[in-house]
């Protein structure tokens, strides 16, 4: 379009302003938002599997086994680290850094104009900040193994997905500690903020891209986004509550039981197989299915 041969004197951000804003909007929906839906569906299985599956004898049997099997499925996906870096971590970093930059261009004025829409706008920014802190903590502790940030110092390990996650939330493998309660509350707030951020973001994205124009259309899409938000909130809340009330020792027995043989052999070779609570480490050395 531009016929000029001289270089554009404007900086990178100025030249690509519109494209960057649209990529910001897009990245919030796919891949980040889509991932959030999948992620919360998986994690809330610690509650819904009690009703929707028939595995095992007790409720905990069903939920832990289902969750653990989902984790195996994810960890057996090909090129997982590639997917994580390019479909998750980099998009989140891109969206968050630009999000903070964009958020700083505005000045909240809910004190003078306390319209509902103005609160939505302000909360979209606040939830972005809090959500970003939460995601950083969440990935750093559970994925990158920064155990010094975990009360109780538990390292999350995927063959022990439920028990180690519960221990990270509860402040250790034993009874819930005060620090554990704080971490669980932080998870609840973080997840709730991000669910709001995604639901409201989906609503504004439709305006950004010009899908919903008339006020009627915006209202209708608002109903859809609210319904999605309420559903995701229910899933997020059950995930946090489900793991915060799960006993790590009980979960560990189930994880050992459902562990595939090749995984068991591999963990044994590396000396990482955890004994069932109350049993000596050597006792499980010969057990296979």
Partner 1 sequence: MISTFTTSESLAAARAANRRAAVAGRTVIFRIKRCDGPGKPSRWEDFKVPVPVGANVISCLQYIAANPVTADGKPTTPVVWDSGCLEEVCGACTMLVGGRVRQSCSALIDDYAPAEGDVITLEPMSKFPVIRDLWVDRERLFHNLKRVKAWVPIDGTYHLGAGPTESPDQQGTRYKLSECMSCGCCLEACPQFNLEEKPDMWDTSFIGPHAISQARLFNMHGTGKVLADERLDALMGMGGVSECGNAQNCVKVCPKHIPLTESIAAMGRATTIHGFKRFFRG
Q: Which residues bind partner 1 (CB under 8 A)?
A: 1, 10, 14, 17-19, 21-22, 102, 105-109, 112-122, 124, 204, 207-215, 218
- 128 belongs to the binding site for ligand HEM (CB under 6 A): yes
The token pair at 52 is 């929707």
Give the separation between CA 68 and CA 255, rounded to whole angstroms.
Answer: 7
Query: Burial of 203 by CB count in 10 Å (0-12 exposed, 13-18 middle, 19+ buried)?
Result: buried
Q: Which does 101 bind (CB under 5 to 8 A by kind): partner 1, ligand HEM, none?
A: none
Assigned token pair, 88: 């998750």
Interatomic CA distance for residues 201 and 283, integer angstroms? 53
Longest CA pairwise span in the chain (Å): 78
Cβ atoms of 95 and 32 closer than 8 Å = yes
Cα gap 158→89, rounded to integer Å: 19
Cβ proximity to ligand HEM, 139 vs 181, nearer residue: 139
Binding site partner of 132, from ligand HEM, partner 1, none, Cβ cut-off 5-8 A by kind:
ligand HEM
Cβ atoms < 10 Å from Cβ of 49? 24
Please list every residue from 138 through 197 that binds ligand HEM, using CB under 6 A.
Answer: 194, 197
Give the one entry of ligand HEM, partner 1, none that residue 143 binds, where binding means its C-beta sits below a cut-off of 5 to 8 angstroms depending on kind.
none
The CB density around residue 237, as the number of other CB atoms within 10 Å, is: 18
Q: How far apart are CB 270 and ligand HEM at their closest, in Å?
A: 33
CB 277 within 8 A of CB 283: no
Residue 210 contact among partner 1, ligand HEM, none, beta carbon within 5 to 8 Å by kind: partner 1
Q: Give yes or no for residue 208 binding ligand HEM (CB under 6 A).
A: yes
Binding mask 4-43 for ligand HEM (x = CB under 6 A): ---------------------x--xx--xx--x-------
Where does this chain bind ligand HEM (CB under 6 A)?
A: 25, 28-29, 32-33, 36, 92, 95-96, 99-100, 102-103, 124-125, 128-129, 131-132, 135, 194, 197-198, 201-202, 204-205, 208
């Amino acid at each position: 379009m531009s016929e000029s041969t001289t270089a554009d004197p404007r900086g990178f951000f100025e030249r690509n302003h519109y494209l960057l804003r649209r990529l910001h909007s897009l990245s919030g929906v796919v891949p980040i938002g889509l991932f959030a839906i999948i992620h919360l569906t998986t994690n809330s299985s610690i509650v819904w599997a009690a009703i929707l599956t028939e595995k095992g004898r007790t409720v905990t049997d069903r939920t832990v086994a289902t969750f653990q099997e989902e984790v195996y499925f994810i960890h057996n996906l090909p090129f997982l680290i590639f997917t994580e870096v390019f479909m998750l971590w980099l998009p989140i970093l891109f969206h968050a850094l630009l999000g903070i930059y964009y958020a700083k261009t505005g000045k909240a004025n809910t004190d003078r104009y306390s319209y509902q829409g103005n609160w939505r706008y302000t909360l979209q920014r606040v939830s972005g900040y809090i959500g970003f802190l939460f995601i950083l903590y969440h990935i750093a502790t559970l994925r990158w193994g920064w155990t010094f940030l975990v009360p109780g110092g538990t390292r999350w390990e995927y063959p022990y997905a439920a028990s180690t996650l519960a221990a990270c939330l509860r402040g250790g493998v034993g009874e819930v500690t005060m620090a554990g309660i704080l971490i669980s509350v932080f998870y609840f707030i973080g997840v709730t903020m991000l669910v709001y951020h995604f639901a409201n973001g989906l609503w504004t994205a439709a305006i950004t891209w010009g899908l919903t124009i008339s006020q009627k259309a915006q209202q209708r899409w608002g109903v859809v986004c609210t319904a999605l938000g309420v559903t995701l909130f229910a899933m997020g809340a059950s995930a946090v509550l489900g793991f915060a009330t799960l006993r790590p020792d009980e979960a560990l027995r189930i994880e050992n039981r459902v562990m595939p043989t090749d995984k068991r052999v591999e963990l044994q070779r590396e000396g990482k197989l955890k004994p069932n609570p109350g049993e000596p480490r050597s006792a499980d050395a010969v057990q296979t299915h």
